[in-house]
Amino acid sequence: MHRTNKKNKQMKSILYTLLLFTINYSIHAQTATKEQIISDLPEIEITEGINLHIISPEPIQYVDLSTEKLTGDLPSTNIARVKITDNSETEGKEKLKITNNFFIGEKIGVITVVGQSFIAQYRAVYRNFENLNTVTNIHIQPEAMQPIEFNNIVFSNLELRKFAMDIIQKKSEKNPIREENDLKLSMQLNNVYVISDYIFLDMTFKNSSNLSYDIETLKFSIEDKKIHKATNNQSIDMTPLFQLNPQKHFRKNFRNIYVFKKFTYPNSKVMMIRLIEEQLSGRTIEMKVNYSDILKADTF
């Protein structure tokens, strides 16, 4: 009887080990990026004299053009502009040795676009100018994206926007964490949220005057709580990684989400938030946020 129980325990242990192996293998198989071969890449058409604009859903980190037949630049953080190299362009004093005698359908290079969380690759195929159906811009579609895995959790702007939208859809807190009123202006810190290494500040600005408010800047900084002399004040500016709405003007109410990478500061310092109006005689309102307010952050 004792031997039977021992065998059963050993069998259960083996089965448990096999189960863990199967789960780990399954997870790895689902998250690993599959290999890409050139013949499997989606094709995009490109024509001499016409720029092809590749539009990314998140900021582009890197673009690679596999041959000198293609050239390009980044006119915007989310747009890669690619064209067939003009054989009259010069590189230093010598002309590029490129002859553009392509035939229709010729594959003239691979275009690689790397975003914050994905890599997308395309085969560039030549089409002549007479083809009126030649594509001039494309949006990178989900099926063309391969995820890039990071050791630490890094959210793309697209993911940060989704989180911020989830927050903005919540009702603003009736009792904000902090509130300042001055010059018929109100600044509220509705709530603080945290996810992974990111801090989200949910803020509302109210204007009870009949004059609309033009924002010159919303400044975040870490400063000393007590300033004995102006020269002793040590101020460290902080720039949000992301903000949901880059709005620069509001009439009555304006709510926005500001995202920062995780930060800390001692009790002897405060986070100072200053809203500054654009005009010379503009209205300015400021708020002090203690670190204890950040430590009470909600998760979502």
Q: Is the model's pLDDT at 164 over the cut of 90?
A: yes
In the chain, what percentage of residues exceed pLDDT 70? 76
Closest by Cα among 273, 274, 259, 268 to 291: 268
Q: Is 96:90 a contact under the CB 8 Å cutoff?
A: yes
Query: Hey, what domains does the chain have and what are their CATH numbers?
Result: 38-149 (no CATH), 161-299 (2.60.40.1230)
Closest by Cα among 178, 183, 184, 224 to 203: 178
Higher per-residue confidence, 6 vs 39? 39
Q: Supply the pTM of this predicted model.
A: 0.57
Q: Is 168:50 a contact under the CB 8 Å cutoff?
A: no
Coil, helix or strand for 230? helix
- The secondary structure of residue 172, as a DSSP letter, is P
- Mean pLDDT value of segment 95-118: 77
Tens digit of each residue's pLDDT (9 = 90 or more) over 201-210: 999 999 888 8
Tens digit of each residue's pLDDT (9 = 90 or more) over 208-217: 888 888 888 9
Structure tokens at 134: 């030649």
**Distance in angstroms (rounded) separating the CA atoms of residues 111 and 30:** 26
Q: Is the model's pLDDT at 189 over the cut of 90?
A: yes
- Mean pLDDT value of segment 22-41: 54
Q: Is the model's pLDDT at 219 over the cut of 60?
A: yes
**Distance in angstroms (rounded) separating the CA atoms of residues 123 and 111:** 6
**Distance in angstroms (rounded) separating the CA atoms of residues 240 and 216:** 16
